[in-house]
Structure 1
Amino acid sequence: MSGLNGTSPPAPHEPDPGTSNNIKDIAIIAAVIAVVALILVCLLLIMLRYLYRHKGTYHTNEAKGTEFAESADAALQSDPALQDAGDSRKEYFI
């Protein structure tokens, strides 16, 4: 038995030469997919950790010691950062 170009087909026990290249290609593709999946899982864990640690925290710019004031006006009047530095002029808004 001879092939079309006068060569004999490979014996049944010999592997096809193109098969090893296919296996290498599949292994490379599987490795790339595994690395991308691992990176995505790591990013997800980092995001969840960040969200968990910062859940419910917020920062305000309120003056210290004004939480016990009777009203908002009293708190603002006693805030030293908002008091004029010796300026006694008043502003009127119309």
Structure 2
Amino acid sequence: MDIAIIAAVITAVALVLVCLLLVMLRYLYRHKGTYHTNEAKGTEFAESADAALQSDPTLQDANDNSRKEYFI
């Protein structure tokens, strides 16, 4: 084998590895631990957990004041 062919193959492999490293670093930088919560908006100012849950529109059907469950 000619030395030029070997050098070209090594250069091509090194270039592919550098490109792969750059793509991985970009992905890790853009997804650095951000998360989204599904908490109800405006409940951080409620005086109690009951008041916060009563004003939540997704829980209006299940609003029964006779039985309350608290999970600690």
Q: What interval of TM-score do these two structures reach, taking the shorter chain for normalisation?
A: 0.5 to 0.7
- The count of residues paired between Structure 1 and Structure 2 equals 70
Q: Distance in 2 between matches of 1:70 and 1:29?
A: 73
Q: Secondary structure at the match of 2:19?
A: helix
Q: Distance in 1 between matches of 2:71 and 2:52?
A: 22
Q: Distance in 2 between matches of 1:92 and 1:51?
A: 39
Q: Which has the higher helix share?
A: 2
Alpha carbons of structure 1 residues 37 and 91: separation in structure 2 relative to 1, 3 Å: same
CA positional deviation for 1:77: 2.7
Quote the sequence identity (%): 91
CA positional deviation for 1:69: 2.9
Q: Secondary structure at the match of 2:27?
A: helix
Q: 2:37 aligns with which of 36, 56, 60?
A: 60
CA positional deviation for 1:40: 1.2
- Contiguous gaps of at least 5 residues in structure 1: 1-24
Q: TM-score, normalised by structure 1?
A: 0.50
Q: TM-score, normalised by structure 2?
A: 0.61
- Contiguous gaps of at least 5 residues in structure 2: none
Q: Distance in 1 between matches of 2:67 and 2:20?
A: 57
Which one has more relative contact order, counting CA pairs under 8 Å at least 6 apart?
2
